[in-house]
Amino acid sequence: MDRPKQRGRGRPPKCIDGRLETRQALVRAGVVALTERGFALTGIDDVLTRVGVPKGSFYYYFASKEAFGAALIDSYATYFDRKLDRWLGDRRRPPLLRVRDFMDDARLGMARHGYRRGCLVGNLGQEMASLPESFRARLIEVLHGWQARLQRCLEEAREVGDLAADHDCAQLASFFWIGWEGAVLRAKLERRAAPLDCFAEGFLALLGMAGSVSEQSRFIQEE
Amino acid sequence: MDRPKQRGRGRPPKCIDGRLETRQALVRAGVVALTERGFALTGIDDVLTRVGVPKGSFYYYFASKEAFGAALIDSYATYFDRKLDRWLGDRRRPPLLRVRDFMDDARLGMARHGYRRGCLVGNLGQEMASLPESFRARLIEVLHGWQARLQRCLEEAREVGDLAADHDCAQLASFFWIGWEGAVLRAKLERRAAPLDCFAEGFLALLGMAGSVSEQSRFIQEE
């Protein structure tokens, strides 16, 4: 490859500490690999090659593949928490529309990457049988964080009367993430958005928002 | 290992053709491995060792690991189609209770194997990025078969008035399998039945059967 060996792809250096920058580039490449192929099939050598870091220097940055994996989960969790805060915490929008906004955004994200990239947490959850046991509690914790964010948004909807008072927001939020991971898995398998739309439609029906797949979604589906 | 080298575990020979028996034993062991760890992490050597077939004789039975994988998908599909026909086609039971029966049975199955074994089709779907491309259409086809069976059961429920007339049974059946795969994934991650119960409860609510998690399920959960 012609690209410089010490640099992440296409980004100019942003900090004076080259080590930190290299570490960040390794994490970025690792997260992409994990969303596409999961942990077991992600070779350290592939990640190093992709980033342009010489083979053998991996252990300068991470004590082990397990430590690397833990850093990738943390990085993805931070990224995804922010994404959820942005969509589900957007007080300019009615709470239930924020849920739809998040789903529309996720849909666009999957389409942008040709449905090759799924959810890092879902991928690792699926291959947990062969992963370091330390990952299990962390993955569950990350999912609970997502669940708490959705629960708060649904509670807001209930408070303003957009969601019937007898809905159990904790149960609904838990239900959402269980099913949404299934929808992401299926969209990867089918390489199309239909499973995301199907789950979105069913979930919104459960909230009492039947027939609420957004116009944006319909437009994208027809492309 | 002390066990006989040409025999599946713990089963007396059932047919006079030892080759067929060995092939079946390889398929059984392969299906277990795929429900636990997926395709990429299933080593042919491990399967041969488990069955007690000498290394090197694999290609006598299967042309390639891909051919073996295809045989495992077919075997699992046959097994699961029968299971669904048994539960969802049980005309002695009201149609919506059959759906609950299936979920209860799946729940027992996962508990019996310590939540280590998930769905072979879900596992392979998750790792599709690294699988032979020929598996994709077959996995989608298998899921559509499951969906058709559930759709028929839901249509029966609608015909007898147990499901409101405005329900779209095809959409509900599609929604179920998308979310159920997510629930199985999550139950494996958490090593407990709660995600299956949560999804079951939400799905039954969507059918208008709120609060319908069976007594049997509740009992198991408290154990």
pLDDT tens for residues B45-77? 989 999 998 887 889 999 999 999 999 999 999
Does residue B10 have a pLDDT over 70? no
**Nearest CA distance, A183 vs chain B (angstrom):** 5
Closest Cβ–Cβ partner in B127, B188, B205 for A128: B188
Q: Who wins on pLDDT, B41 or B193?
A: B193
Amino acid in position A14: K
Nearest Cβ partner for A195 among B37, B178, B202 = B178
Longest CA–CA span in chain A (Å) reads 61
Higher pLDDT, A18 or B24: B24
Which pLDDT value is given to residue A37? Answer: 86
Q: Say what the pLDDT of residue B7 is.
A: 42
- What whole-number distance in Å separates Cα of residue A122 and Cα of residue B185? 8
Closest-CA distance of chain B to residue A204, Å = 10
Quote the mean pLDDT of chain B: 87
Identify the structural domains of chain B with CATH numbers, from first to last.
70-214 (1.10.357.10)
Instruction: List the single residue in A36, A136, A182 with the smallest CB-CB distance to B180.
Output: A182
Among A198, A203, A213, most B C-beta atoms within 10 A, so best to mutate, is: A198
- Cβ <8 Å between B38 and A201: no
Q: Do B126 and A181 touch (CB under 8 A)?
A: no
> What torsion do the CA atoms of A196, A122, A186, A105 make, to the nearest 10 degrees?
20
% of chain B beyond a pLDDT of 70: 86
A175 neighbourhood in chain B, CB within 8 Å: 179, 198-199, 201-202
Which residue type sits at B47?
V
Whether residue B8 has pLDDT greater than 70: no
* Among candidates A36, A116, A199 on the partner chain, residue whose Cβ is nearest the Cβ of B179: A199
Using a CB-CB distance cutoff of 8 angstroms, which residues of chain B are in contact with residue A126? 38, 118, 122-123, 126-127, 185, 188
Distance from CA of A15 to the nearest CA of B (A): 34
As a whole number, mean pLDDT of residues B118-129 equals 90
Nearest in space to B216 (alpha carbons), one of B124, B55, B103:
B103
Interface of B with A (CB under 8 A): 36-38, 40-41, 116, 118, 122-123, 125-130, 136, 139-140, 143, 171-172, 174-175, 177-183, 185-186, 188-191, 195, 198-199, 201-202, 205-206
What residue ranges of chain A have pLDDT lower than 50? 1-16, 211-223
Contact criterion met (CB < 8 Å) for B185 and A181: yes
Cα-Cα-Cα-Cα dihedral of A115, A120, A126, A129, to 10°? Answer: 150
Question: How many beta-carbon contacts under 8 Å exist across A and B?
Answer: 131
Out of B37, B177, B185, the one facing A122 most closely (by C-beta) is B185
Q: How far is B58 from chain A (nearest CA, A)?
A: 23
Closest-CA residue to A63 (of A11, A134, A137)? A134
Q: List, as own/partner pairs, every contact residues A192-198 make where C-beta atoms lie below 8 angstroms and the sequence separation is at least 24, other chains included.
A: A192/A115, A193/A107, A193/A110, A193/A111, A193/A115, A193/A217, A193/A220, A193/A221, A194/A221, A195/B174, A195/B178, A196/A103, A196/A106, A196/A107, A196/A110, A197/A107, A197/A221, A198/B171, A198/B174, A198/B175, A198/B178
With an 8 Å Cβ cutoff, are A181 and B180 in contact? no
Mean pLDDT, residues B102-111: 97
By CA distance, what is B183's nearest residue in A? A178
Structure tokens at B29: 């062991």
Q: Which residues of chain B have a CB within 8 Å of the CB of A181?
A: 182, 185-186
Are the beta carbons of A32 and A26 closer than 8 angstroms?
no
B26 neighbors B46 (Cβ within 8 angstroms):
no
Q: How confident is the model at residue A17, as a pLDDT?
A: 61
pLDDT class of B93 with cuts at 50, 70, 90: very high
Nearest CB among B37, B139, B185 relative to A130 is that of B37
CB nearest A125 (choices: B130, B188, B199): B188
Do B133 and B215 touch, CB atoms closer than 8 A? no
Compute the distance between CA of residue B65 and CA of residue A164 in angstroms, rounded to an integer. Answer: 53
Please check the confidence at residue B217 and state whether its pLDDT lies above 80: no
